[in-house]
Amino acid sequence: MNVLLLVLGSAALLVGGYLTYGRWLARTVFRLSPTAPVPSEELRDDVDYVPTPPAIVFGHHFTSIAGTGPIVGPALAIMWGWGPALVWVLLGAIFMGAVHDMAALVVSIRNRGMTVGEVAGRLLNRRVRLLFLVLLLFALWIVLAIFGWVIASVFVQFPESTLPVFLQIPIAVWIGLRVHRAGRNLFWPSLIALAVMILTVWLGAGCPGTAWSGGSVGAAIQGFNATVAAWPVWAWVAVLLAYCYVASVLPVWVLLQPRDYINSLQLVASLGLVVAGLVAAAFFGGPALADAPRPPLEFVAPVLDLHPEHAPPIVPFLFVTIACGAVSGFHCLVSSGTSSKQLRCETDAHPVGYGSMLLEAFLAILVIVAVGAGIGLGWADAHPGMAGTALWQTVYADWKQVTGGTAIAAFVVGSGNLLGALGIEATFGRALMGVLVASFAGTTLDTATRLQRYVVQELAATLLPAGAAWSPRQRRPRAGMSPLQMPLWVLTTPHGATLLAVGSAFLLAILPAPGKPWSYEALGTGGLILWPLFGATNQLLAGLALLVASFYLLRRGLPVWIAAAPMVLMLVMPAWALAINLQKWWAGGNWLLAAVAAVMLALEAWMVLEAVLLWPRARGILEEPLPPLAAADQPA
């Protein structure tokens, strides 16, 4: 019962934060107006800039920012105890993460949908813009390489999730065509899509509960799942990046928006089932095993453990381990990269920017409960006969043991146990949670590809001379461009930028992970080479995005502290973590990670120095106004 009360109390705090602090930010600080011009109308091209109903933008934004971050982070950080993890998620989401996301969204909307790197150049200077874009390029490069491996790992561990994930694509296209071209109401298509998606999960699990599961249909599905589980990682990475290329260059309403939207429906439905299972387990206990009584639901993880085996110190590493769910720099890329180009009015930034972050925080809380309490109800496949604290201590015996796929598996099993308290068959429950994880990772992957495309385009445009300036709607090279400038111009086009994004990610991903030999099985794990850098780099992005938001507020005489206070924390903690890791990598002879960490710290110091020097001269001084739209930029 204590577990249930903790979840209900957390949900109440998140709702209260949305209705009080979030509403104050929207109305008093950012002064959102339903009649203000927005990029989706000013630059409408029905490819990237598309005015979209808030429900669909919310679905796209939420599933894109969530990914596996709010699952892996809390499932790993709980080794320091569920208490610190819970407090950081709640306080971080309400006062930092949601502020960061909404600020990035609003600032981008008011700068014609520019990414936060582009906006940094307007609010600070061109040097900061270039440094910011390079940092974004690096961070997204790692995301694209690693998430292919993450999804492949989910497919191998839970092959029953593969078929439903791929069947989502035609369902999404159907939704996109129906809503965009016919302008139909979303209610009935949404219900149909959700029902079909649940049906595909049941199908992928082998039709449990029916005679088909033991017949030819079930055998065919099991054979398909076995084949999927045997695929090499590099092949999955290639398939997924090829899909991402297509998704990135298609109009957003064809695949990206509707797929994210139906994934959000599936997620909300799944979260509802997990909460219902939590209630059932709290009152009646977990799923019964044979003739044994139903075990009680209680925390088997410690409230606080400052010294887990082989774990880094809780400060500063808690703040870079739990990113999504509390505050994450990747969110500023989604806010300013895709969502700002789709909002049809400014006031939608409150539910989309602030509300999505709080819903993600609630997901992180359910993850904490699933791995901190739900896993204690049993793990029949990997640890038969074990339950309670003994099972927790076995699974979470060592930090190094959990940092691989174990954290994701712990969530799938723990949440599956909660579904089992409702009487849901175990295979179907695991399949449902596995599809949730893989779908989240997939939406993050295709959104990250589109974001990388924007960053490549903006960076290439930055390197072109002023006479060859590029604009979002430019499709042909400007007159007088030299042959040496043509390759850069190619990178300002959607196809050229996307090819570089997916090609470079595949080249990194195809390498074997550190310590693994060059072998057929090891290929495709190369994202793990730079993955140790991502946590701190991601949080550094959050601090720098809050720095940009602080300058936006400073120049307008608005309350700067709402962004500046979390900015300081999110600049100090990642730098501290990077410095500790740099020392460890240097001592261990890992020169590549040590060198990249040193470069990251130097970039941060450079940008912070630029900001400190500019700060007193920017107070109350507006940046240069945006230039008038050229004829090529006007909506058709």
Tens-digit pLDDT profile for residues 64-123 = 998 778 888 999 999 999 999 999 999 999 999 999 999 999 999 999 999 998 899 999
Whether residue 496 has pLDDT greater than 60: yes
In whole angstroms, give the CA distance from residue 233 to residue 235: 5
The answer to whether 197 and 439 are in contact (CB under 8 A) is no
What is the rounded average pLDDT of the residues 328-355? 95
Nearest-10 crossing angle of helices 116-123, 426-463: 40
- Nearest 5°: the CA angle 513, 436, 445 is 50
Cα separation, 206 vs 218, whole angstroms: 5
Is 429:416 a contact under the CB 8 Å cutoff? yes
384 φ, ψ (degrees, to nearest 5): -65, 140
Q: Give the range with max mean pLDDT: 307-311, 435-439, 550-554.
A: 550-554
Residue 336's pLDDT is: 94
Question: What is the mean pLDDT of the segment spanning 381-409?
Answer: 83
Determine the pLDDT at residue 258. 86
User: By percentage, how much of the chain surpasses pLDDT 70?
Assistant: 92
Alpha carbons 360 and 366: distance in angstroms, whole number: 10
Q: Flag whether pLDDT at 506 surpasses 70.
A: yes
**Average pLDDT of the chain to the nearest whole number:** 87
Q: Identify which of 123, 254, 266, 244 has the alpha carbon closest to the alpha carbon of residue 198.
A: 266
Per the model's pLDDT, the better-predicted residue between 412 and 537 turns out to be 537
Q: What is the pLDDT of residue 543?
A: 96
Spatial separation of the C-alpha atoms in residues 63 and 263, rounded to whole Å: 7
How confident is the model over 428-452, as pLDDT tens digits? 887 788 787 788 788 888 889 999 9
What is the full DSSP assignment across 2-46? Answer: HHHHHHHHHHHHHHHHIIIIIHHIIIIIS---TTS--HHHHT--S
Cα-Cα-Cα-Cα torsion 327, 330, 333, 339, nearest 10 degrees, comes to: -70
**CA 409 – CA 107 distance, rounded (Å):** 38
Share of the chain above pLDDT 90, in %: 47
Alpha-carbon separation of residue 550 from 92, 360, 553, 555, 559 (angstroms): 17, 24, 5, 9, 9
Q: For 366-393, what is the mean pLDDT?
A: 87
The DSSP code for 449 is H
Pull the structure tokens for residue 131.
Answer: 């440094």
Bridge partners of 343?
Answer: 52
Q: What is the DSSP letter of 465?
A: -
Q: Look at residues 89, 72, 54 and name the one whose alpha carbon lies nearest to residue 403.
A: 72
pLDDT mean over 596-617: 94
pLDDT at 169 over 90: no
Query: Mapping DSSP to helix (H, G, I), strand (E, B) and coil, where does residue 383 land?
Result: strand
Cα distances (Å, whole numbers) of residue 574 to 42, 288, 527, 530, 634: 37, 44, 20, 16, 41
User: What distance in Å separates the CA atoms of residue 162 and residue 300, rounded to the nearest whole number?
Assistant: 31
Note whether 282 and 296 are within 8 A (CB): no
Asked whether the beta carbons of 61 and 328 are under 8 A apart, the reply is no
The SS3 assignment for 52 reads: strand
Residue 627, amino acid:
P
d(CA 378, CA 46): 50
Mean pLDDT within 269-285:
90
